[in-house]
Structure 1
Amino acid sequence: MKSKNIDWEDEADLSTNPSSDTDFRRIIGIVLSNWYWFLLCGLIGLAFSFFKVRYSVPSYNIRAKLIVSDDKKGGDLSASPLGELSGIMGTKSSVENEVEVLKTSDLMREMVLAEQAFITYSYTGKFHKVPIMAPPYKLEILSSPDSISTTYDFKIIPGDKGRFKLESEGISKSVKHGEAFLIDGLGTFRLYQNASPTDAEGYYGVRVASVRSTISGLSKSFSVSVTNKNVSTIDLTLVHQLPKQGERLLKSLIEKYVERNLHDKNVVADSTLSFINERLSKITDELAGVEDRISGYKQNTQLADIGEQSRILLENSANYTKSIAEAETQLSALDAITSYLSDTRNPRVVPSSILAQDGTFAALTSKYNELVLQRERLLLANTEDNPLVQNVTNQIAGLRDDMIANVGSTRRQLELAKQNQVQLSNRVTSQIQRVPTIERGYIDLARLQQIKQAQYIFLQEKWEETAIGRTANVSNSKIIDSPKGDVLPFEPKRRMTYALGLVLGLAIPALLLWLKDLLNVRIQSIDDIERNSSLPILGMIAHSEEHDQVVVSKTSRSPIAEQFRAMRTNLEFALNGGKILLFTSSMSGEGKSYVALNLAVTLALLDKKVLIMELDLRKPSITSKLGLLAGSGFSHYVVRQDMRLEEIIMPSGAHENVDLIQAGAIPPNPAELLVHHRTQELVRELSKRYDYILMDAPPVGMVTDAQLLSRYADSCLYLVRQGFTYKEQLRIPNELVLSNKIKPIHLIVNDVQKKGGYYSGYGYGYGYGYGDYGQEEKRRKRWQFWKK
């Protein structure tokens, strides 16, 4: 009864996943079928980009460049005859240190306060707000800027008689031109009108922000970088919406940086000059007193010229006393420095140029002065309990101990040197004691005069050096490229904005289509079948708008009739000489009875005798679709031993060569009837009478009836309905083949609808590509344009 077996596992192995070329064509087909959505969303994206570019406030890059004195990179700005003296007052900073100084909030705060950058003006038109640099109104703050605790946007409404109205959320203030007024939470202000507004369609506004938030905002838009490591240049960039105002702010920032740099150097010089002036005043008074004593001594004693011996003794004594004087001067300086360092409660800058050159002490003094200046700057905006201030204070204390230890060591060395000179001086003094008493008294006064005079000369020299050094002080940085705003705005970038709007516009429909395809669980295309099944597809049946169940006739030339004819042709190769076909599916409603009826008529058109067996004993439907009355059928024949075959065979009415065996009464045990010996005898006898036998079985995904009937069939046609069958259900026929429960199985795709795209002309046998060939054109009324 069965035809030659085919190895369907080998046939399944020959099927592969769709190639990348097929996937690409499928994607192109989906895009082309939904081109109007891509066009619409693309235009919407470009429209949004246009409005963003049109109504966004552009931002500009303001650039400047500094060169910094750095010995490592040859950027010394003090290359002059007085350059060495200017270096006495402090050490030079490296490029990296200056970059960090330029980034500090304290420097930005000085610029914000100097330029009143916390007050900004704008003009609000019909669509957007535009910042302006020269508004017709000017708001001046009279109180401390630190009193501003929050940010307010005020709308300026001009009134009569020089009055204005400031409106904001929860605030409405009527003020007079040039008159001070108070706003709670902000402070005291005064509003002026510089010119008359010319545009009445919008209004002017002023924003008052806290100093801290303004510093934070400007710091985010301000960047400092060293683009070339081989030179000591620093690039400054400020992003601002008003190029001219941005240039002014950046220029002010650079000026504040230069002023602070010079201030740090001058503080050390001024401290040293103050100390020297104090000592000079005291030494001058002492020297004048000694000279008065010498003049009086000579008058009282009528002293004449001292002899040669006295001259030699005096010269020797002068040399020793000069050395002692220098030692005492340095000891006095050490005592003064010690007094400076002893004040732990209020650290002060220590003079660095009044001692003999000592590399270790000079380095400690320079570092100590830097920390003292840094502590003073931090105390401007912080308290002494601040961790940063305490850290600097601890460093100052550590350096103070090191400096005190260094001063103590230097003092001991000076005292030893002084003792040595005193011993030598005592020897000369013992010789001088031999001269007359008058001459000896004169020598004592002359020696004291020399000591005071040496101190005076020493301090005077140091004062001149320090004064010249302070005059020669220059900033360690210089502007080599003044602040300039770019011609083109930094943002928005027109091309990038339009490109991004177009890409996002096209991405939205693409994403929605991808999500639709991802979330769809039903069969929509041949590609879904090929990805989830390796079984061959025998044919495709298009969607039919006709209400008749039988759409195939001898004279029909419709596309769907040609598809059934194509399936008949493919069926000859699939049966390979067999004649019994089993129709089943995954669930009810996929069109088994519909396909079986029309395929039976198609086979009958070849003058073949065809029998349809309604073996869905649980829910028969062929009888009702043909409009026949229910009568004796298969269940009656199997149960009643005396019933003959002719009693259950009846004409189908679809074609003279198509007969029908109805299901009969619905039995309580359909599975047992299908494997009954009478069923085997029935199939054997029918095979002798008919050329083709079509068995309409229940869905195999719900009951096992189809598996039981497969023993009689030569081939199984498995129905898959587009938009109805679940993708997961395609595993059922594959598992049946792999487990040898039903073999062979061919797929038939039913109810394929032409929706456009790549798969609209894709099919097996006669598909949609057949078109309306051979049909008479059905005229449509003009109002039925949607049916075209």
Structure 2
Amino acid sequence: MITNQNQSFVPENSQGFNLKKTLALYTKKWFWFVLSAALCFSIAFIYLRYEIPAYQSIANIMLISEKDQSSPGAVFNDISMFSQNADAQVEDEILVLKSRGVIESVVKKLHLNLQYFVEGTVLTTELYNNAPIAINFIASDSIINATNFNFHIDITSDVGFDYRINKDDNPKHFTFGETIPTAFGGMIITPKTESKKNLSGTNLNIQMTSVNYMTESLRNNIFVYQSGKSSKVLTISLVDPLPNKAIDIINTLIMEYDSYSSKVKNIRAKNTAEFIDSRVELIASDLVNVDDSIVRFKTGNKITDVSSEAGQFLSSSAQNEQSLDELRTQMRILDYMNESLNSSAGFEPIPANLGIGDPAISALAARYSELLSNRERLLRSAGEKNLVVVELDQSLNSIRQSLRQNINNATKSLNIRMGSLETQSDRINSKIFSVPGQERRLRSIERKQGIKESLYLYLLQKREEAAITLTATSPNLKIVDTAYTFGAPVSPNSRMIYIGALFIGLFLPFSIIYVGDLLDTKIHNKEDLDQIIKDMPVLGELPRLKGKELNSLVARNDRSLLSESFRIIRTNFDFVRRGRHVQAYDNVIFITSTINGEGKSFFSINMALTLANTDKRVLLIGADIRNPQTYLGLANQKKKQISKTGLTEYLTDNSIAVDEAIETYTISDNKIDVLLSGKVPPNPAELLMSERMKPLFDHVSNKYDYVIVDTAPSMLVTDTLLISQYAGHTVYVTRADYTEKSLLNFAKDLHDKNKLNGMMLVVNDVNQANFGYGARYGYYGAKKKSFFNPFSKS
């Protein structure tokens, strides 16, 4: 809507994020999105058309664990330090499979460092196993394997060919079988028998690559991974334009890996056998020394079996103790009998039948007891003087004397026997006491013997197992699937490439527009002014003119977009003007801008013509005397009709009246009066401060309905500010895609400090895609054509 000077046209959605406006920023430039997407699709199509497809070949192998008893490493599997984690073993084998040694063997075996290419018009195709020629090198393989060389061959006939190192070099003619000199030595090219016919016209490019480079390249292209978690099945994958080549590489890689593993196993088994042999000899020598130690120990101690002899010693010791106890008992009996014989004054009974074991003493004791019994019987009937009793007493004394003598003799005999038994017992006890020490020493020696013997037998067994592995090495892998190729190529992926092309095609213009919008510091339409300057009315927008329209002026009864835009501005100006109630110079309108080139002169001329369309008397004054542009609107006038007198002449020459400097012109069927700028003076600022300025504006404001004054840019010079008191209203012209947003601060400052009266804004040169309100739909003039029906009628 249109407001007074204290208000501005602020849309409801001017604050915050405006989704519709943001989307419009991109949708209005749909053509660039379509063009970019079409271009990217074309590039993708050309790429897919000429890109050589690549195929994936894979093979599956299963590793045979080292814990398998048939494998060489199983010799020491029962020793913990030689055991391995299964996952770690698989990872180690993957590293071995991709090792430089194994890959290099594949490169040398398949001669991958020598490649043949057929040169076509667009594509160059590699020949694998079907090259029409064979190359023999005179230099050693070590030199050839380290050489990087590239040359071209054009076969001209069945017997000769042209040779070039670089494609643009002059060719040298050679015959098949002739030695070709090179920097690394000579080489001889011969045709293969099966392809000898129809070789003429074939162009070949032969590339020699060092084995090291080809090995590293192949290592980077081959992928080996476990088929599943903790699985011993490995998948080998290779992508190459030639499926047969990839299959041969994978199959050869499997064979070389198996050969390498078998070689490593044989070396390991051989080293194991040699180690075991050396240990067997050393342990056998130690075992002999231990056996000799046992012999020396038993011989020195005069024993055969320590345990059995210790039992015999214990038995003998027990028998001696028993014999000593018996002899001691007999000694006590004899002592008792001797005491009995010595203690009695008369004839007393003595013990008999004590089991002394001496028959003489036993017989005398029995006789003594018998006679003593007879004596006692006689004493009961006769006295002690009886001859028989006397005779018995003599016999008893004689027997007692014999008993004492026999007891003494028996005592001496027992003492001798006891001494002998005690001596024997001491000897046996000393041997018994020495048995534990002997047994400990013997067990220590026997323990060493047992350890050496068990280790000796263990190594003998492992030596036999290692010897078996040398003659029958078990395989390190089992081929689950030999190399095979999928039917469809894996690259290029046309679907993903087209999707990527679409994404890039849309992203490029989007990013350019987005970055451009971020870096944009210029205004583009009325909405930008509304957001920056909120307390100043915006009268309208003027469309961008192209081509022949650049010099267009508003004509009478004109229905063009330019004319309608000026009519809208005229209507809005009248509305603002009625709301301001200006007393002096209400019909005087100053046209100015911030800097040069924003279109104030263009606006001044067309605004004057638009007002003249209403049959009003309009005067256009060219007050920009530093850089006059008003005369551009009179380009269709004849030079003699253009007045030589202008504002400069009026101000400098007091004899010239106002009406003498004003001329009437017919422009686009509209009659308007024009006061041209005149000649450029040396002192424009001082001239505009002339006392004749006020009478000029007093006169024209009373004579004309509207006075349009084209002034100088306000920020560059002070000319406009010097005469601003004569303006009833000021139209401040900005230009889309030209005026910096930061420069609008100058316009705000002028308005806030009332340096220019009644300031109003106009946006010039607005792209029709950014045009506001109904004009953008082409209600007047040519209607906007539908995107889906570009040929629809207006």
Q: Could you say if the C-alpha distance between residues 259 and 683 of structure 1 is closer, same or farther in structure 2, counting changes exceeding 3 Å?
A: same
Deviation track 1:355-407 (CA, whole Å, cap 9, x = no partner) reads xxxxxxxxxxxxxxxxxxxxxxxxxxxxxxxxxxxxxxxxxxxxxxxxxxxxx
- Is 1:710–2:710 an aligned residue pair? no
Q: Could you say if the C-alpha distance between residues 13 and 638 of structure 1 is closer, same or farther in structure 2, counting changes exceeding 3 Å?
A: farther
- Is 1:121–2:116 an aligned residue pair? yes
Deviation track 1:593-624 (CA, whole Å, cap 9, x = no partner) reads 44334434543554555444443344555578
Q: How many Å apart are 1:99 and its aligned residue?
A: 1.8
Q: How many Å apart are 1:657 and its aligned residue?
A: 9.1
Give me the whole-angstrom Cα distance separating, in 2, the residues matched to 1:624 and 1:458: 117
Paired residues, number: 608
Give me the whole-angstrom Cα distance separating, in 2, the residues matched to 1:455 and 1:539: 109
Q: Where do 1:670-709 residues align within 5 Å?
A: 670-671=684-685, 679=693, 683=697, 690-709=704-723
Q: Could you say if the C-alpha distance between residues 529 and 471 of structure 1 is closer, same or farther in structure 2, counting changes exceeding 3 Å?
A: farther
Q: Is the 8 A contact 1:62 1:247 kept in 2?
A: yes
Give me the whole-angstrom Cα distance separating, in 2, the residues matched to 1:77 and 1:461: 17
Deviation track 1:321-368 (CA, whole Å, cap 9, x = no partner) reads xxxxxxxx9563588xxxxxxxxxxxxxxxxxxxxxxxxxxxxxxxxx
Aligned to 1:234: 234
**Aligned AA for 1:242?**
L
Q: Secondary structure at the match of 1:150?
A: coil
**Aligned AA for 1:424?**
F
Give me the whole-angstrom Cα distance separating, in 1, the residues matched to 2:677 and 2:459: 132
Q: Secondary structure at the match of 1:123?
A: strand
Aligned to 1:152: 149
Decide which moves more: 59-68 or 214-223: 59-68
Give me the whole-angstrom Cα distance separating, in 2, the residues matched to 1:460 and 1:164: 69
Aligned to 2:759: 745
Give me the whole-angstrom Cα distance separating, in 2, the residues matched to 1:131 and 1:624: 71
Give me the whole-angstrom Cα distance separating, in 2, the residues matched to 1:650 and 1:458: 131
- Is 1:421–2:282 an aligned residue pair? no
Deviation track 1:32-75 (CA, whole Å, cap 9, x = no partner) reads 3x58xx44x6555444433433333222222223333458xxxx
Q: Secondary structure at the match of 1:539?
A: strand
Aligned to 2:575: 573
Aligned to 1:783: none
Q: Secondary structure at the match of 1:270?
A: helix
Give me the whole-angstrom Cα distance separating, in 1, the residues matched to 2:141 and 2:777: 80
Deviation track 1:691-743 (CA, whole Å, cap 9, x = no partner) reads 43333322213212222333343331123356776676555434433554335
Q: How many Å apart are 1:226 and its aligned residue?
A: 3.2
Q: How many Å apart are 1:112 and its aligned residue?
A: 2.0
Q: Is the 8 A contact 2:522 2:737 kept in 1?
A: yes
Aligned to 2:623: 615
Q: Secondary structure at the match of 2:539?
A: strand
**Aligned AA for 1:603?**
L
Give me the whole-angstrom Cα distance separating, in 2, the residues matched to 1:773 and 1:58: 53
Q: How many Å apart are 1:522 and its aligned residue?
A: 7.8
Q: How many Å apart are 1:646 and its aligned residue?
A: 7.1
Aligned to 1:219: 219
Give me the whole-angstrom Cα distance separating, in 2, the residues matched to 1:771 and 1:458: 111
Aligned to 2:20: 21
Aligned to 1:193: 192
Q: Could you say if the C-alpha distance between residues 753 and 425 of structure 1 is closer, same or farther in structure 2, counting changes exceeding 3 Å?
A: closer
Q: Where do 1:302-317 residues align within 5 Å?
A: none
Aligned to 2:261: 261
Q: Is the 8 A contact 1:157 1:203 kept in 2?
A: yes
Give me the whole-angstrom Cα distance separating, in 2, the residues matched to 1:63 and 1:583: 80
Give me the whole-angstrom Cα distance separating, in 1, the residues matched to 2:24 and 2:109: 66
Give me the whole-angstrom Cα distance separating, in 1, the residues matched to 2:773 and 2:464: 108
Give me the whole-angstrom Cα distance separating, in 2, the residues matched to 1:212 and 1:162: 35
Give me the whole-angstrom Cα distance separating, in 2, the residues matched to 1:491 and 1:515: 34
Q: How many Å apart are 1:105 and its aligned residue?
A: 0.6
**Aligned AA for 2:165?**
S
Q: Is the 8 A contact 1:65 1:235 kept in 2?
A: yes
Q: How many Å apart are 1:225 and its aligned residue?
A: 2.4
Q: Secondary structure at the match of 1:488?
A: coil
Deviation track 1:424-456 (CA, whole Å, cap 9, x = no partner) reads 353488999xxxxxxxxxxxxxxxxxxxx9999
Decide which moves more: 147-156 or 662-671: 662-671
**Aligned AA for 2:29?**
I
Q: Could you say if the C-alpha distance between residues 431 and 573 of structure 1 is closer, same or farther in structure 2, counting changes exceeding 3 Å?
A: closer
Decide which moves more: 188-197 or 7-16: 7-16
Deviation track 1:99-118 (CA, whole Å, cap 9, x = no partner) reads 22122111112222223222
Percent identity, aligned pairs only, is: 26
**Which structure 2 segments of 5+ residues have no match?**
306-452, 635-640, 784-793
Q: Secondary structure at the match of 2:778?
A: helix
Give me the whole-angstrom Cα distance separating, in 2, the residues matched to 1:208 and 1:656: 85
Q: Could you say if the C-alpha distance between residues 54 and 692 of structure 1 is closer, same or farther in structure 2, counting changes exceeding 3 Å?
A: closer
Q: Is the 8 A contact 1:126 1:201 kept in 2?
A: no
- Is 1:538–2:533 an aligned residue pair? no
Q: Is the 8 A contact 2:50 2:122 kept in 1?
A: yes
Q: Where do 1:64-103 residues align within 5 Å?
A: 64-69=59-64, 76-78=67-69, 87=77, 94-103=89-98
Q: How many Å apart are 1:476 and its aligned residue?
A: 4.0
CA RMSD of aligned residues (A): 5.1
Q: How many Å apart are 1:218 and its aligned residue?
A: 0.9
Give me the whole-angstrom Cα distance separating, in 1, the residues matched to 2:513 and 2:230: 55
**Aligned AA for 1:145?**
D
Pick from 771, 781, 785 the counterpart of residue 772 of structure 1: 781
- Is 1:106–2:120 an aligned residue pair? no
Aligned to 2:565: 563
Compare CA radii of gyration and give the structure with the larger one: 2
Q: Is the 8 A contact 1:62 1:243 kept in 2?
A: yes
Q: Is the 8 A contact 1:224 1:234 kept in 2?
A: yes
Q: Is the 8 A contact 2:298 2:304 kept in 1?
A: no
Q: Could you say if the C-alpha distance between residues 86 and 61 of structure 1 is closer, same or farther in structure 2, counting changes exceeding 3 Å?
A: farther
Q: Secondary structure at the match of 2:194?
A: coil
Q: Where do 1:489-638 residues align within 5 Å?
A: 489-501=489-501, 536-542=537-543, 543=545, 545=548, 551-553=554-556, 555-575=557-577, 576=579, 577-578=581-582, 579=586, 580-588=588-596, 590-606=598-614, 608-620=616-628, 622=630, 627-631=641-645, 636=650
Q: Could you say if the C-alpha distance between residues 478 and 5 of structure 1 is closer, same or farther in structure 2, counting changes exceeding 3 Å?
A: same
Q: Secondary structure at the match of 1:584?
A: strand
Q: How many Å apart are 1:176 and its aligned residue?
A: 4.5
Q: Give TM-score scaled by structure 1 length.
A: 0.63
Aligned to 1:358: none
Aligned to 2:487: 487
Q: Secondary structure at the match of 1:482?
A: strand
Q: How many Å apart are 1:763 and its aligned residue?
A: 3.9
Q: Could you say if the C-alpha distance between residues 225 and 462 of structure 1 is closer, same or farther in structure 2, counting changes exceeding 3 Å?
A: closer
Q: How many Å apart are 1:583 and its aligned residue?
A: 0.8
Q: How many Å apart are 1:199 and its aligned residue?
A: 7.1
Q: Where do 1:314-393 residues align within 5 Å?
A: 332-333=282-283
Q: Is the 8 A contact 2:554 2:609 kept in 1?
A: no
Q: Secondary structure at the match of 2:142?
A: helix
Give me the whole-angstrom Cα distance separating, in 2, the residues matched to 1:226 and 1:665: 92
Q: Secondary structure at the match of 2:492?
A: coil
Aligned to 1:445: none
Q: Secondary structure at the match of 1:733?
A: helix
Give me the whole-angstrom Cα distance separating, in 2, the residues matched to 1:213 and 1:661: 86
Q: Could you say if the C-alpha distance between residues 477 and 142 of structure 1 is closer, same or farther in structure 2, counting changes exceeding 3 Å?
A: farther
Q: Could you say if the C-alpha distance between residues 12 and 772 of structure 1 is closer, same or farther in structure 2, counting changes exceeding 3 Å?
A: closer
**Aligned AA for 1:713?**
A
Q: Secondary structure at the match of 2:572?
A: helix
**Which structure 1 segments of 5+ residues have no match?**
280-328, 336-410, 433-452, 775-787
